[in-house]
Structure 1
Amino acid sequence: MTALSLAAAPRQSPSMVLAIVGGLACAFAIGKTLPVTMDTVSGALSPLCATAAESSPLDKVEPIGSYALPNVPGKRVTIVRVFYGPGGFSRPHRHAGSVTAYITKGAIRSQLGGGPVETFGVGQSFFEPPGATHLVSANASITEPAELIAVFVADEGAELTTYLE
């Protein structure tokens, strides 16, 4: 397009421009980060597009500690810090054992099983019972980072997080 044809083009509403940019960001994220298989694309499409942005490279999980529970043989408590960059999220997953999450920075969107999507702010917590499906775990902001501390109580040697297909 030339500068003249761009100037003559009709102006789009801000919401239309935002929708187009979000769609392009979603398409870019899918094309950049996923193998080209239909099962993988269909399983990952929803969480990628729901945030209208690529997950941040700042998303990470940092181990804090892990301790055997001497009064409960075969069980272990593990504590991790989860960092979400702006617009960051985790794919749908489930955890071994139970998890309590405490928000230390920003706001976190969360949805378990068929329940509602809830938003938790600094100082709030939520609980995931054993075997619960964590469908949404995401930073509620696309401009600010968020962080939570997760405390797992699970069987000794268990795989703490299993991503869903």
Structure 2
Amino acid sequence: MTAMSLANPQRPVPSRAMALAAVAGLSCALAIGKALPVTMDAISSALVPLCATAAESSPLDKVEPIGSYALPNVPGKRVTVVRVFYGPGGFSRPHRHAGSVTAYITKGEIRSQLGGGPVETFGVGQSFFEPPGSTHLVSANASMTEPAELIAVFVADEGAQLTTLLE
């Protein structure tokens, strides 16, 4: 599957960011209304493999849990939202995720390559999608001097390890 861009030169980035935030907020409100959220400790332990990948490249790289919610209309599935910070030159080792992942770039530029596809660069306001089980060979800050950041939204089975490193 190829990556998709949400860039539109006629609309300023803040409008897209506001629309995305509104949709995310409504989705989270629905999920919170129907299910109890997982504690931040449980979220953090589920994200340890993802955090470990970023920590190996730069002390400025980190993953910050935002929230995790059971999907009441899809039994056995959970949506988890994280913010990924890459310092200058930061990257994650090759990995795969348990479920679907949509990433939205909020700062800087991110280079990404899914197995079999080209290396692509995404800027603020753009997004890409990772289907379940795909190999994420390149996930890196495109800049050696400026930080980059993205929001990742995972949809995976309850209790699944969200990220598995590839050897």
- Regarding TM over 0.5, the answer is yes
- Which residue matches 1:5? none
User: Which residue, 57, 79, 82 being the options, matches 1:80?
Assistant: 82
Structure 1's unaligned 5+ residue stretches are 1-53
Q: Give a deviation string over 1:4-27, Cα, whole Å, max 9, x none.
A: xxxxxxxxxxxxxxxxxxxxxxxx
TM-score by length of 2: 0.66
Q: RMSD between aligned alpha carbons?
A: 0.9
Q: Which residue identity lines up with residue 103 of structure 1 in the other structure?
A: I
Alpha-carbon distance between aligned partners in 1 of 2:123 and 2:107, rounded to the nearest angstrom: 7
Q: Distance in 1 between matches of 2:59 and 2:116?
A: 29
- Give the distance between the partners of 2:57 and 2:124, measured in 1 at CA: 21
Q: Alpha-carbon deviations, 1:39-85, whole Å to 9, x = none?
A: xxxxxxxxxxxxxxx82211000000000000000000000000000
Comparing 134-143 with 54-63, greater Cα deviation is found at 54-63
Q: Which runs of 5+ in 2 are unaligned?
A: 1-55
- Structure with the bigger RCO (C-alpha within 8 Å, sep 6+) is 2
Q: What is the aligned partner in structure 2 of residue 160 from structure 1?
A: 162
Q: Give the 5 Å matches for 1:37-76.
A: 55-76=57-78
Segments of 4+ moved more than 3 angstroms = none
Quote the residue 1:95 is aligned against. Answer: 97
Q: What are the superposed Cα offsets for residues 85-131 of structure 1, whole Å, 9 maximum, x if unpaired?
A: 00000000000110000000000000001100000000000000000
1:119 corresponds, among 103, 107, 121, to 121
Task: Report % sequence identity.
Answer: 95
SS in 2 for 1:73: coil
Q: Which amino acid aligns with 2:110?
A: I
Q: Which amino acid aligns with 2:143?
A: S
The letter for the 2-side match of 1:125 is: S
Tell me the distance in 1 between the aligned counterparts of 2:103 and 2:130.
Answer: 8
TM-score by length of 1: 0.67
Aligned-partner residue type, residue 118 of structure 2: P
Larger Rg: 1
Q: Distance in 1 between matches of 2:151 and 2:69?
A: 16
User: Counterparts of 1:75 and 1:66 in 2: how far apart (Å)?
Assistant: 11
Secondary structure of 1:149 counterpart: strand
Count of aligned residue pairs for this structure pair: 112
Give distance in 2, aligned partners of 1:89 and 1:164: 14
Structure 1 residue identity aligned to 2:119? V
User: Does residue 104 in structure 1 map to residue 106 in structure 2?
Assistant: yes
